[in-house]
């Protein structure tokens, strides 16, 4: 009965975002409920994965991610950024402002602008609320409503397993990916990072895949990289300049990357 009332509340008062990123879109999950659901999912991620035991790398990602999240329309919400102890190149976002970056992604990036582009893309998925939109499509509104209420922890575990892995639920639509690329470029420039870092990261990953495809399998399964997407990122960055100095130091990134490569030796490196 409780879940039914919750669904009826969704139907009567949908989480409509009527300006900016989602102008005209209707998300059936309210922002408050999305952030509550995100906390549940994040708790399960922490049960299934391990953070990288490197306080300096975590502090660096906190600053970088925080600077990017501050450029979004949801900057007043709480965002968290976590480095996972995983050599595979991957990153993903949960509903409710939770972003995860594998240590392997830090090891693979050539510059902090490249790493920032990955984080910006995931932040954009969160700001555009793609996660809850996809979950409602995949599971239905009534089940998602029950998850917010904590009614089915088994499904929460399943969803997290799919997001951490490479199943269909972890794959956004082409339009979602394009929107996240476009918004990510805006956030990069506004936060003081070179928007050209996105195309550069795409090119870095494509080159690495040719030499060592295994550690990049998860990335390419959930982040398709067609040539037109790389070219679109390259063209979109032309004429766009960073608005000022970034929140993080390029030299600090070099040190963090070196540390991560030593701590996660199985990670892909150039």
Please state, in angstroms and rounded to a whole number, the distance separating the CA atoms of residues 203 and 199: 6
Mean pLDDT computed over every residue of the chain: 83
Q: Please report the pLDDT score of residue 16 as a whole number.
A: 46
Q: How far is CA 177 from the centre of its chain?
A: 11
Backbone dihedral region for residue 118 (phi beyond 0: left; psi -120 to 50: alpha; all else: beta): alpha
Angle (nearest 5°) at CA 124 between 35 and 251: 110
Question: Given pLDDT bands bounded at 50, 70 and 90, which one contains residue 2?
Answer: very low
Per-residue tokens: 112: 């902090």
On whether the CB atoms of residues 121 and 184 are closer than 8 A, the answer is yes
Per-residue tokens: 161: 């397993």
Evaluate if residue 255 carries a pLDDT over 80.
yes
Of 65-69, 84-88, 208-212, 259-263, which has the strongest mean pLDDT?
A: 65-69
Residue-wise DSSP of 219-266: HHHHS---HHHHHHHHHHHTT---SS--SS-HHHHHHHHHHHHHH-TT
On whether the CB atoms of residues 210 and 147 are closer than 8 A, the answer is no
Backbone dihedral region for residue 251 (phi beyond 0: left; psi -120 to 50: alpha; all else: beta): alpha
Single out the residue of 255, 260, 265, 223 nearest to residue 84, CA to CA: 260
Q: Please report the pLDDT score of residue 215 as a whole number.
A: 57
Please state, in angstroms and rounded to a whole number, the distance separating the CA atoms of residues 267 and 261: 7
What is the average pLDDT across 149-177?
A: 71
Q: Residue 100: enclosing H or E segment and its boundaries?
A: strand 98-102
Residue 27, exposed/middle/buried by CB under 10 A (0-12, 13-18, 19+)?
buried
Q: Please report the pLDDT score of residue 227 as a whole number.
A: 75
For the chain, which residues make up each domain, given as ranges? 31-263
Phi, psi (rounded to 5 degrees) for 73: -75, -5
Please state, in angstroms and rounded to a whole number, the distance separating the CA atoms of residues 37 and 40: 5
Q: What letter would DSSP give residue 53?
A: S
**Over the stretch 15-46, which tens digit does the pLDDT of each residue have?**
444 445 665 566 878 899 999 989 988 998 89
pTM for the predicted model, two decimal places: 0.85
């Amino acid at each position: 009965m409780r879940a039914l009332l919750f669904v009826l509340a969704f139907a009567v008062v949908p989480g409509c975002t009527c300006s900016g990123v989602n102008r005209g879109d209707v998300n059936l999950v309210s922002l408050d409920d999305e952030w509550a659901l995100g906390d549940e999912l994040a708790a399960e991620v922490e049960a299934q994965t391990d953070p990288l035991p490197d306080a300096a790398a975590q502090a660096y990602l906190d600053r970088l991610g925080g600077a990017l999240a501050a450029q979004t329309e949801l900057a007043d919400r709480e965002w968290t950024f976590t480095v996972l102890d995983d050599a595979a190149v991957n990153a993903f976002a949960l509903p409710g402002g939770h972003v995860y970056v594998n240590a392997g992604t830090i090891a693979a990036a050539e510059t902090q602008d490249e790493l920032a582009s990955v984080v910006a893309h995931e932040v954009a998925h969160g700001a555009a609320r793609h996660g809850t939109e996809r979950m409602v499509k995949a599971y239905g509104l009534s089940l998602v409503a029950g998850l917010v209420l904590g009614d089915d922890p088994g499904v929460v575990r399943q969803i997290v397993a799919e997001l951490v892995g490479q199943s269909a639920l972890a794959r956004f639509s082409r339009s979602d990916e394009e929107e996240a690329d476009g918004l990510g470029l805006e956030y990069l420039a506004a936060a003081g990072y070179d928007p050209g870092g996105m195309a550069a990261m795409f090119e870095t990953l494509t080159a690495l895949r040719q030499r060592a495809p295994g550690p990049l399998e998860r990335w390419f399964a959930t982040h398709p990289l067609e040539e037109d997407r790389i070219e679109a990122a390259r063209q979109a960055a032309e004429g766009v300049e960073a608005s000022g100095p970034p929140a993080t130091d390029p030299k600090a990134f070099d040190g963090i990357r070196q540390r991560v490569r030593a701590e996660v030796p199985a990670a892909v490196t150039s």
